[in-house]
Amino acid sequence: MKSAFFSSAIIVCAVTLAAQQDPLVARARAIHDRIITLDTHNDIDPRNFTADCNYSMRLTTQVNLPKMKEGGTDVAFFIVYVGQGDLTPAGYDSAYRAAIAKFDAVHRLTEQIAPKEIELALTPADVVRIHKSGKKVAVIGIENGYPIGTDVKRVKEFYDRGGRYMSLAHNGHNQLADSHTGESSNEWKWGGVSPLGREVIQEMNRLGMMVDVSHPSKGAIMQAIALSKAPVIASHSSVRRLANQSRNMDDELLTAVKTNGGVVQINAVSDFVKAPEPRPAAASGPSAASGRASGGGRRGAEPAAYKCPIETAATPRPAAPRATVKDYVDHIDYAVKLIGIDHVGIASDFDGGGGVDGWNSAAEAFDVTLELVRRGYTEEQIGKIWSGNLLRVWGDVEKVARSMR
């Protein structure tokens, strides 16, 4: 056993030494350490935000503080996600309660559990200030406007709780907009954005909350862009030309986001990066592309007793997805060539189905930077892709809000 251990140690040391001697790796490491790395989509489970089980520990979740520190991930948008349910008072009430539990979880982490390690940002300036202090940065995004029900005043409530972007819909049409899922059957509820959804977009503009166009239908996205007085974001969407999925954006949508002044955060769900081979009917079931969680809290049934998912040496590493970091950066390359360096960003969708071979957790964020350096991107360009573009758009949204007030 000892000899095996020392052999492994020698191999690790040799690999580390080789990396240190590789000028390209060293340059990528220096760039990664200097820029702000920002990931706009990380799902959460409130059960991992308690005194006894939380992100100050190295959990099996793809994102937590130890993994963010290891990989040099500076900013994580933690997501208030609620799956689509019935468009009834009872459905809205249940969704609202689930959303509040996730808002509260993020506040618990930043205010009670680990306030010396991570802080909640409410503005782009906060992101820069907190990063300079040496802490990690938390931001809250809202995936699916379903929990606001039919009460537009809840948009302000969610903003006051820290929500800084919101998508109108998720998987399934709701009271605000059609979903991309209608494409398979060509069945639509609104033909885009509903009358209530139009009011919600106006209120988001007034408050300074970014309008997220990931997940709605193409018609709803185009209408949302036209309706919004501020630039929009696609918080986690990949390129349809490279992977023909209804969740991905075609060239017309990508160009529309550019014309609007917005940003597309490229999604790292493997099936959205590289379309999988058709599955046999018997093997079909929930996958990353279906929006199910792998430890992120999207599962239906709650266990009787929750066991904190502490990562140990014996914890098996999940099988690597078919797509790789190189496949992922192909999407960045395509978008940059089509719509320009100022309109492309990065999103993992970790703990919500995200992850590619080489970037399976926040601990491996450097590999994305390394691949960008290999392809000739400059430090300025990499800084824009990792955070600069999103922070610029967020700032522009705030300016529009101030002008509307």
Place 317 in a pLDDT band, splitting at 50, 70 and 90: confident
Q: Is residue 122 part of a domain?
A: yes
Q: Is residue 19 part of a domain?
A: no
pTM: 0.90
pLDDT at 10: 45
pLDDT tens string 15-46: 454 445 699 999 999 999 999 999 999 999 99
The mean pLDDT of 233-261, rounded to a whole number, is 98
In the structure, how many helices (H) and strands (E) does the chain have? 14, 9
Question: Which range of residues forms the domain containing residue 98?
Answer: 36-274+308-365+381-404
pLDDT tens string 341-400: 999 999 999 999 999 999 999 999 999 999 999 999 999 999 999 999 999 999 999 999
Q: Is residue 15 part of a domain?
A: no
Q: Is residue 300 part of a domain?
A: no
Q: Is residue 237 part of a domain?
A: yes
pLDDT tens string 141-182: 999 999 999 999 999 999 999 999 999 999 999 999 999 999
Counting every residue, how long is the chain? 405
**Residue at token pair 């999407």:** 331
Question: What is the secondary structure of 135-192 as a DSSP string?
Answer: -EEEEEEEE-SGGGTT-THHHHHHHHTTEEEEES-BSB--SSB-BGGGGTTT--SSSS
- Give the mean pLDDT of the chain: 91
Q: What angle do CA 16, 20, 25 make, to 5 degrees?
A: 105
Decide if 120 contacts 162 (C-beta within 8 A): yes
Instruction: Tell me the C-alpha distance between 41 and 134, whole Å.
Output: 21
Instruction: Tell me the C-alpha distance between 324 and 356, whole Å.
Output: 5
Instruction: Tell me the C-alpha distance between 203 and 119, whole Å.
Output: 26
Count of domains forming the chain: 1
Decide if 265 contacts 41 (C-beta within 8 A): yes
User: What's the CATH number where 100 sits?
Assistant: 3.20.20.140
pLDDT at 41: 98
Place 278 in a pLDDT band, splitting at 50, 70 and 90: low
Q: Is residue 177 part of a domain?
A: yes
pLDDT tens string 201-242: 999 999 999 999 999 999 999 999 999 999 999 999 999 999
Instruction: Tell me the C-alpha distance between 337 and 269, whole Å.
Output: 21
pLDDT tens string 366-379: 999 999 999 999 99
Give CA separation, 322 vs 105, 116, 209, 315, 355, in Å: 33, 38, 35, 21, 10
- What share of the chain in percent tops pLDDT 70? 88
Q: Is residue 118 part of a domain?
A: yes
Q: Is residue 288 part of a domain?
A: no
